[in-house]
Amino acid sequence: MKTTKITIKGDLIPTFVTKIDGIGVVDTAIMRIRVKDLKFLPREANPRSFHEGTTTKKIENTIVQEPELFEVLNRGLTIVCSDCIYEKGNVTFIFSSSSQGLVDGGHSFTVAMRNSDANAKIIAKIIYGDGAVNLANRIAETFNTSEKVSEMSLNNLRGYFDFIKKEIINQPYYFDIKWEENAKKRILSTRIVGLMNSFDPDRWGHGDICEKAPTDSYNSARHTQNDYAKMYETFGENTDNPYYALKNVIVQIIDLFDWTEQNFARLYNKVGRYKNITVTLPDKTKTKLVEIDKNKKFKSTFYGYDLPGYIPTPLIYAIIAPMRILLQRDRNGFWYFITEPKQIIEAIGPQLIKYALDYYSIWNINAAMKDPKFWVYLYDKTILLKNKMQ
């Protein structure tokens, strides 16, 4: 980010100057701004995207119906910058990196900007100086945890997803990935993190015997995001980090997932008739798989290709996760596939899908995905089927 200067009219009162050893000087000030004088502020540092909801409506009701109370009832804005200069009723903010800007109060700011004709004022807390620059990300995290922010959003703010973004930036689904809460995107980044988690050979095994099951990779977004953060903070961007070690196969794993989803019914039809499959619903009633939301049009998760009908997508996590047996490390410590996994799924996928659906016919899909025995069962069957290919 290039250094940006933005000047806004308003009254500024310096409050405190704090010198922190090893970090630098942190200056704070309070600013009172007329809503009509607000200007666009950088918002990349805020872990949340704007979301229309109950809170937003309350903010809007106050600024429209009781503008004179807006500065009293509203929590205001928090701005982090390299420096701010006050001169003759104008404050010039200097932003030198994407970690600076409006770190809290994004909803209030958006509502105020679209009601700029209101006779209202808003209070902003300004945090600046070299110490503020060094603490920018932590400030954003702290202010945004007064209302709980998802670990996904915080991981994005910290830059932990950057290496994943670099790997998939040229893929057609890149701009459909939701990296932070409230963003209006169709694919949660948690899906990618979950897939990477399930393909970790060191953690879940990739030999002839597997006793551990990556159930959280599908069932608990919070656990997988927390684990992702822990691994990144412990090992950083090197191959001791199990997620970073999978960097070079991220696109292949995503492609395998979507391809399996697209070909799920076709593969099963090699060993049975997909239209005749009966499954158990969460309420323990039985129904044919093709009858589930039969009037709805379904698309594949990542590429958005048309699907022939409802596909039990969660099962695909457990069906393709055993393909980690095809991973080996290169001399730099990164994992790579020794064989194209789609070729293996094409060969043994029909039987694996049948095993998964047989289980689903007895237990509902949520119960199946939470059951470690189900994951281990499919892994064991994968080893047996692959050995028969040789």
Q: How confident is the model at residue 119 (pLDDT cuts 50, 70, 90)?
A: very high
Q: How confident is the model at residue 49 (pLDDT cuts 50, 70, 90)?
A: low
Query: Which of these ranges, 91-95, 98-102, 278-282, 325-329, has the smallest mean pLDDT?
Result: 278-282
Give me the helix-helix angle, 189-198 and 250-268, nearest 10°: 90
Beta strand pairing status for 4-9 and 90-95? Answer: antiparallel
Average pLDDT over residues 363-381: 88
Average pLDDT over residues 374-378: 93
**For the stretch 210-240, what's the b/e string if a residue is b when 16 or more beta carbons lie within 10 angstroms of its beta carbon?**
beebbbbbbebbeebbebbbebbeeeeeebe
Q: What is the pLDDT of residue 117?
A: 92
Q: What is the pLDDT of residue 143?
A: 62
The answer to whether residue 291 scores a pLDDT higher than 90 is no
The answer to whether residue 363 scores a pLDDT higher than 90 is no
Selected residue with higher pLDDT from 53 and 67: 67
Q: What is the pLDDT of residue 152?
A: 85
State the Cα–Cα distance between residues 279 and 361, nearest whole angstrom: 4
Mean pLDDT of the chain: 89
The answer to whether residue 324 scores a pLDDT higher than 90 is yes
| CA distance to 27, 83, 85, 133, 234, per residue, from 19 (Å) | 9, 15, 19, 13, 29
Q: Is the dihedral of CA 357, 360, 361, 362 positive or negative?
A: positive
The answer to whether residue 372 scores a pLDDT higher than 60 is yes
Average pLDDT over residues 156-176: 93
Selected residue with higher pLDDT from 194 and 207: 194
State the Cα–Cα distance between residues 381 and 322, nearest whole angstrom: 9
Selected residue with higher pLDDT from 207 and 264: 264
- In the DSSP assignment, the letter for residue 51 is -
% the chain with pLDDT above 90: 58
Q: What are 359's two structure tokens?
A: 């289980």
In the chain the beta strands, taken as DSSP E runs, fall at 4-9, 11-20, 24-34, 77-81, 83-87, 90-95, 101-104, 121-128, 177-178, 187-188, 278-280, 286-288, 327-329, 335-337
Average pLDDT over residues 292-314: 92
Average pLDDT over residues 364-385: 90
Q: What is the pLDDT of residue 260?
A: 98
Q: Is the dihedral of CA 205, 206, 209, 210 positive or negative?
A: positive
